[in-house]
A and B are shown apart, each in its own frame.
Chain A
Amino acid sequence: MLRVANVQGFWGDSMDAPARTVRRQPNLDYMTLDYLAEVSMSILAVQRERDPNAGYARDFVDVVKSLIPAWQSGAKVKVISSAGGLNPNGCAQACIQALQEGGCTGMKVGVVSGDDIVSLVRSDFTENPTADYPNLEDGASIRTVLDRLVTANAYFGAAPIVEALRMGANIVVTGRVADPSLTVAPTVFHYGWDWTDYDCLAGAVVAGHLIECGAQITGGISTEWLDVSDPANMGYPIAEMHEDGSCVITKPEGTGGVVNERTVKEQLLYEIGDPAKYITPDATASLFSLEVREEAPNRVRVSGARGIAPPHTYKVSATYRDGFWAQGQITVFGRDAVAKANRCGAVIFERVRQAGYDLQRTSVECLGSGACAPGIVPEPRDGLETVLRISAADTRREAVERFTKEIAPLVTNGPQGVTGYAAGRPLVHPVFGYWPCLIDKSRVQPRVNIYDV
């Protein structure tokens, strides 16, 4: 049996989860750490513009440091992470330096790169006028945003990670890979599955999907979260992988949270489309044949996955610059709080208009009055308190700048009971549009490098 844990579900997850998990569960074989959401690459691109050595999730280097004591006292756990972002080699070098400084030598760090295809996409248009990388959502040609394109990365599968593990890597740093492939790779490497064992691969894809968001399967964001025990010490998930592709989802002893049939089913349905076709670069899995069964407290067996061959294309996640946005908040307390907050919103936009800017996109939300589902759930009556959340987006930076300056004046010009304005003027952020598209697998070659520490 092979134990694969996920100890970072996203960039910003609990920094001590990795060290805590291996301390609680010393027989772990692998830990996976997922850092890349759909538009993370654009944030990394901005960081790399300021510093060519940046462009990866720096959190991961601190995680590697935090694991040194475990490795030095004999833990064999290997680590696979998409922390490399736009600069997997830079990330690996920073990890190697951290390991050397910590006296943790004799390890090998593998790097998977080659997923960054932004220059390929750009050059395609000078060489091949018919290339248009249609947007998977609306079919538009990438030509329409080509001059504003920031990043384009192909989602690799498990194969290059398996290659790094074969070369002896203890730590594998990747750029963009499909999230479940972080789990598929060690399982393929361990059991020696063939790349056409689609049912087995589908089982590992499902396991990877289940654990990829960390504590979301161990009680986090559960409908029954209020009943979850010890949420300050959430256990992170472990998939016990079996040779037939089935798995048991569990968590370390003595940790908070819960793994039961319901937490597993919730996460199974998380961010999926057609359950007949859960597409990854390793296999396309069907979720219809799955059986989810609680076999003991905090142990849920997931079996019966069916798979077919993956598509001949990689999914590509591209991002482009799409103007600027800002968002500010003020609290309004007292009679008719929502009406007052809405009027504050109108005042702010009127002031920006008087300054010469008709903002292209705006939003006024009165938090506390059902703003997360406007018009759906009934507003609480006689609400004495609301938080005005006001936002604007525009292609002109100066228009958004002006907007950020019109919120504070309400502290003295607005209704009695305006308070809680302590954070100062909101910051102006770039907006990045998301462009999902496809590229033929034959056009992108993963690269695998290995470094000794």
Chain B
Amino acid sequence: MTKIRLGEIAYARSGDKGASANIGVMAYTPAGYDFLRQALTAERVEQFFKPMGVGKVTRYELPNVHALNFILPDILAGGGSRSLRVDAQGKALGQALLEMPIEVPEDLLPSLQLARKMNS
């Protein structure tokens, strides 16, 4: 096993839904999606965001686009219009989740990573 940051095998986008936020996490490869389905559970994400006061996290699976959608209730301390936080709308939560340390079998890692860069 080797420890990496989630951002090495996935990309993400987050935003607000009232007082909740959502984070879409997309695997870079099909093998990466199979791995994340096992490793990145709702419980794991809930534990990760516990210090910010998140409620019970729900996970939806979208195998057709190799994506997981996480709903994070009560994480915005009042939501877009009431929250005093600098990130009142949860725009930074995707970047935070991509910093999550995650254990990956060493031989599997190359099949989870993106082969080429965006514009090259």
Contact = CB atoms under 8 A, between A and B. Distances in A.
B11 A266 contact: yes
Nearest to A223: B11
Nearest to A263: B118
Interface stretch (A47-55, A90-98, A282-290): A282-290
Interface stretch (A235-243, A371-379, A410-418): A371-379
Contact of A325 (B79, B80, B84): B84
Interface in B26-52: 26, 48-49, 51-52
A436 interface: yes
Contacts of B24: 265-266, 268-270, 272
Nearest to A373: B96
B53 to A, nearest CB: 9
A174 B119 CA distance: 38
Interface in A387-412: 389, 391-393
A275 B51 contact: no
A229 B81 contact: no
A275 B60 contact: yes
Contacts of B92: 372-373
Given A270-B24, A272-B69, A434-B80, A375 B51 contact: yes
A374 B81 contact: no
Nearest to B10: A223
A223 B98 contact: yes
A372 B96 contact: yes
Interface in A244-299: 258, 260, 262, 265-276, 287-292
The secondary structure that dominates the A interface is loop
A276 B64 CA distance: 13
Interface string A15-55: 00000000000000000000001110010000000000000
A432 B91 contact: no
Q: How large is the interface on A (under 10, 10 to 19, 20 to 34, 35 or more residues)?
A: 35 or more
A376 B13 contact: no
A224 B118 contact: yes
Contacts of B13: 221, 223, 266-267, 269-270
B60 A260 contact: no
Nearest to A226: B118
A431 interface: yes
Contact of B18 (A289, A373, A436): A436
A119 interface: no
A124 to B, nearest CB: 23
A432 B19 CA distance: 13
A223 B94 contact: yes
A275 B64 CA distance: 11
B52 A374 contact: yes
A37 B96 CA distance: 24
B82 interface: yes
A81 interface: no
A433 B91 contact: no
Contacts of B52: 373-376
A262 B11 contact: yes
Nearest to A370: B96
Given A266-B13, A272-B69, A434 B79 contact: yes
A259 to B, nearest CB: 11
28 contacts: A137-B18, A223-B11, A224-B118, A227-B117, A228-B118, A262-B26, A265-B26, A265-B66, A266-B12, A268-B65, A269-B62, A269-B65, A269-B67, A270-B15, A271-B15, A271-B22, A272-B22, A362-B84, A363-B77, A373-B92, A376-B49, A376-B96, A376-B99, A392-B84, A431-B82, A433-B81, A434-B79, A436-B18
Given A223-B13, A227-B117, A273-B22, 9 more contacts: A270-B15, A274-B60, A362-B84, A363-B77, A367-B86, A373-B92, A376-B48, A434-B81, A436-B18
Considering the complex of A and B, which 7 residue pairs feature the smallest CB-CB distances, nearest first? A269-B24, A375-B51, A373-B96, A223-B11, A363-B84, A372-B92, A391-B84
